[in-house]
Amino acid sequence: MPYRVSVLLCSLALAAVFTVIGWNLYRQVDAYFDSEIARNNIRFHNIYTVQNEVQARRSQALAYSISTHTEIQRLFSEASEAARNDRKHSGNLEGAHTARVRRIFQGQVKRLWDELHGNHEVKHLQFLFPDGTPFLRMDAPSIFDDTYVAERPMLAGIMRDRRPRGGFEVGHTYAGIRGIVAAERAMPDGSERLVGFVEVGFDMNALLNRLDKQLDIGMALLLDSAQVSGIMLERYRPATETRQSFILAASRPEAADWLKAGLLPVRKSALQDQRHIFPWKGRNFHLIAFALDDYRSQLDPQSSPPGTVLVWRDITTRVKRLDEDRAAAIINTFVAWVFAQIFLFALLYVLRNVWERQLKRNTATIEKLSRHNALLLNTAANGICGIDKDCSITFINRAALAMHGFRPEEVMGKKLLALFYRHDFDGGADPEKISPVIQTMKDGMPHEAEEWLFRRDGSRFPAKVAVTPILEQEQRNGAVIVFHDITEQRNRQEALLQLATTDSLTGVSNRRHFLDLLDAEQARHRRHHGQASILMTDLDFFKGVNDKHGHAAGDAVLSHFVHIVRQTIRRSDIIGRLGGEEFAILLPGDGTDGAFEFAERLRRTFENNPTRIGKTLIACTVSIGISDLRSGDKSADAPMRRADVALYAAKAAGRNCTKIYASAMRQTDFGMKATKSDRSKQ
């Protein structure tokens, strides 16, 4: 082959090689820039989501602290009563009595409102009646009596079950993150009555400004005019508005200019653009847009979000550096090709050095990125860990290690289920039945669940677990698990349940809970036709105990009686306090004969064991009436009424005795009326 042809072929081959190299370098620069943009999209989305949840919990906490204030509960109760009277006479809430109570209420909470508004970034404080009608808005005191339960699923939900709620929601006078709790007032009989709801909302501008200062980013909340116009009153909407949307809050003024210029992504299709970069007044901005999820869209993912969250950064310097990197890739490749044509062997040496420098630069970049990601993981409050396709742990943050009590070397590469699960909810050995981790690894879909996770010492704690698959080139290569300890939430729920179902003095079932249990036993009795009896007990001359020894001593006698009952009954038997010194005992599986033996044993034990208070012994006796449960009983009132008649018979027979209901018994036969006061005197 001629030399010139060989040189030409080598030159062409070398040119082709360097053309490919230059193209790859150019694409690497763009790929790194795209990955940086994508990471920022995820990072800022997660930061906003976490801040949203934190503000929602904080608003619920503030609302709860206000709802437990005794004076506010009293005024709330008085306002409810005034509103009922005004509605009855005038059909609205503009009566003089309600207006006076509103002025007093507003004056009482004015100082609290000033403190919340000035020190806690609270923009919205609202008090609502039990039917959802606003009674007083501290941020808009002239707007009230505008019922809009149907427009607010958060309000409708708490009216249904009284459980606290929080999240972003749009109302008549305020749109933002709010929390709402039920205000319940303790009644003299020990029960609690709903007097209304307390709602607290935060200033979204303050939240966005704080994030702006912390992260050096601009943020804005864009609301859809079509969705909000039917809910939010026009005079309470922000001034910056177009036909499609308006800005609810913004940390920087560019958002208003962009909205007027039509540059903001107001259509849903624009939310899919992950690299939205545009020039503005000689600067380049990266705009991130994602759906503004509100409480309604969280309940129904198919519903349309009310708006858009916008995050933007000035990346003029970064875009300039990107252009410089692109130009550098092209120039360096061309210079390398020229030197390769002149000094082929020398060029090989130069290329080796160039690749070494590039490798060091890329390695340093990757190390920096790894440190940055590790910092994000380790500063997160939630536990975060990653697993591969075999469910082996590939990374874990400090919060997760702290929750479980492990050291990093003890978990890396180990099976997640063997370390953190061990058992399912029922104590079995197969966590795969319910684990969202296994579900995600099987179907490739995100899953959430509340589960029991285990610590290194074998103890366990309840946690909210969210699992998201890791998809690479449409292949599932593992998953990311995010979880947090919900022990405090569980304890709070159990405490509320205990408060709602038990008597605060004696610890037994209160009247409402006992009646529910009696209804359930009657349903079983009608299905299976078994035996069951109910005892009505009343302490004899209990009023005399209170009058002679004081109410504290009377409470001690009641507690002593319950203690004796608990030592006498079986685990399946149920005791409830109906009021005052009157108790009812349900004996499933026992007919009246067995119930009579139990009642006599209880009566004699209580008679022979007086209550000891210091050195004082207080003797007391009990009268007992017994009735069986019958398949024809339509409600809990029927057996209780029969047992009550038998109780009157025991009272009439001289007290301190037990009577079984007979069809010939009538309350009028004993000359007594079924009132609590009469029974106390006996």
Angle between helices 70-90 and 3-67 (to 10 degrees): 80
Cβ contacts of 274 within 8 Å, gap of 6 or more:
37, 38, 41
Rounded to 5°, angle at Cα 419 from 414 and 425 = 145
Residue at token pair 């692109």: 326
Q: Residue 514, class by beta-carbon neighbours within 10 Å (0-12 exposed, 13-18 middle, 19+ buried)? A: buried
Q: Which 3 state secondary structure label does DSSP give 483?
A: strand
Structure tokens at 339: 């030197």
Which residue, 511, 673, 625, is CA-closest to 579?
A: 511
Task: Please report, for residues 378, 452, 460, the alpha-carbon distance to residue 407 in angstroms, rounded to integers and kept in the order given.
Answer: 14, 20, 17
Dihedral angle at the C-alpha atoms of 431, 434, 440, 445, nearest 10 degrees? 180
Q: What is the residue-wise DSSP string for 335-363?
A: HHHHHHHH-HHHHHHHHHHHHHHHHHHHH
488 flagged as catalytic: no
d(CA 682, CA 680): 5
Q: Which 3 state secondary structure label does DSSP give 179?
A: strand
Which residue out of 581, 597, 600, 607 is catalytically annotated? 581
The helix (run of H) or strand (run of E) holding residue 529 is none
Residue at token pair 């008679």: 607
Angle between helices 487-501 and 511-528 (to 10 degrees): 80
Express the helix, strand and coil content of the chain in percent, nearest 5 each: 50, 25, 25
In Å, how far from its chain's centre is CA 330? 54
Rounded to 5°, angle at Cα 51 from 46 and 54 = 125
Cβ–Cβ under 8 Å, residues 594 and 513:
no
Angle between helices 551-568 and 542-549 (to 10 degrees): 130
Residues with a catalytic annotation lie at 581
